[in-house]
Amino acid sequence: MKYYLGLDVGGTNLAAGVVTEDYEIVSRKSVPSGAGKSVVEIVQAMSDVSKEVLAEVGLTEADVDYWGIGMPSCVNPKTKLLVHANCFGWRNIPILDYLSRHTRLPIVLENDGRCATYGEILAGAGKDYINAIMLTLGTGVGGGIILNRKIYSGADHMGCELGHTKLIYNGRLCTCGQYGCMDAYCSARGLLDTALDELRETKEKNSQLWEVCNGELNSLTVRQIFDVWNQKDALAEKIVTQYVDHLAVGMSTLITIFRPEIIILGGGVSNAGDDFLWRVNERLKVRTFAGEEIGVPQVVRAKLGNDAGIIGAAMLGAKQPFIL
Ligand SMILES: [Zn+2]
């Protein structure tokens, strides 16, 4: 049996795993990523957790061919610098230099959203499909595009920032500095911003949304919004309807260009339930070019959860995963 080492680096956790050639994770460990710590400390933790998962199944670095890593942002092949990782406040970091001090293995590093998408296409919701798009609806919006079962990432791997496709002309300020990005409306934070806008503007004070947060609007959570929505609260209905419409319009742009066979939703908001998913599918038919005539790809939930990022990272060097 051949083994692969994958590490998924997020703003909250570092999740490492040893993955078999059948995409089974035989050893895994997750530790806090330590946002706020120095690059040296975070890279040390990345190395430690990766070596621990190998040791747990009696392996060492000599038993794997490379170290696959999924990270926010990606390395610019011209400068060899990690461009921009918001969660750590990193800009143009020589991450490969830091990492190579800890290993003799070749390092294969790719954007975390693309790794999760690749994991889902290999072993999850996309495994029976050739062309797929995944959107992760978490703190931000990430994702990836799969064409012919390979990752499409554009020139110098700098494309496919799906969350920063424009949704609203001169809309909300996004974390990236641009205005009106999909991220600013369809992330968990975007949903909360929509809710806060509505709550501050409405004269109706009888929505249960006020009760669940005890009037402390800034403490409102995505889960609370969907819980109240499930109880048929009128204001929550208005907020979720807006959210679904933004998401459908954002996805319709991607469908119009790429026509995937399937769209996979991951991230916290994707767990809002079957009614939510049904709404998204229905709205997409209305909002997509020729949606009624030729149909739209089905939108499904991701299957692998956090494992997708580990599997995708682990398999980055197994066979050429990229469209070159
Ligand atoms: Zn943006």
Q: How far is ligand 1, taken at its centre, from the CA of residue 15, in Å?
A: 26
Q: Which residues contact 206 (CB under 8 A, 6 or more apart)?
A: none
d(CA 81, CA 84): 9
**pLDDT tens track, the chain, 324 positions:** 999 999 999 888 999 999 999 999 999 999 998 877 899 999 999 999 999 999 999 999 999 999 999 998 888 888 888 888 877 888 889 999 999 999 999 999 999 999 999 999 999 999 999 999 999 999 889 999 999 999 999 988 888 999 999 999 999 999 889 999 999 999 999 999 999 999 999 877 889 999 999 989 999 999 999 999 999 999 999 999 999 999 999 999 999 999 999 999 999 999 999 999 999 999 999 999 998 889 999 999 999 999 999 999 999 999 888 887
253 C-alpha to center of ligand 1: Å?
16
C-alpha of residue 180 to centroid of ligand 1, in Å: 7
The rounded Å distance from CA 290 to ligand 1 centre is 28
Domains observed in the chain:
3-111+306-314 (3.30.420.40), 125-301 (3.30.420.40)
d(CA 207, CA 253) in angstroms, rounded, equals 33
Count the Cβ atoms, other than its own, within 10 Å of residue 44: 16
Neighbours of 90 (CB within 10 A): 18
Looking at residue 191, what is its pLDDT? Answer: 98
Q: How many CA atoms lie within 13 A of 210 on its CB side?
A: 13
User: What's the gap in Å between 17 CA and the centre of ligand 1?
Assistant: 31
Matching residue, tokens 């809309």: 171
- The model carries a pTM of 0.93
Query: What does the chain come to in residues?
Result: 324
Give 198-249 as a DSSP string: HHHH------HHHHHTTT-GGG--HHHHHHHHHTT-HHHHHHHHHHHHHHHH
Report the separation in Å between the CA atom of 25 and the middle of ligand 1, taken as the mean of its atom positions.
33
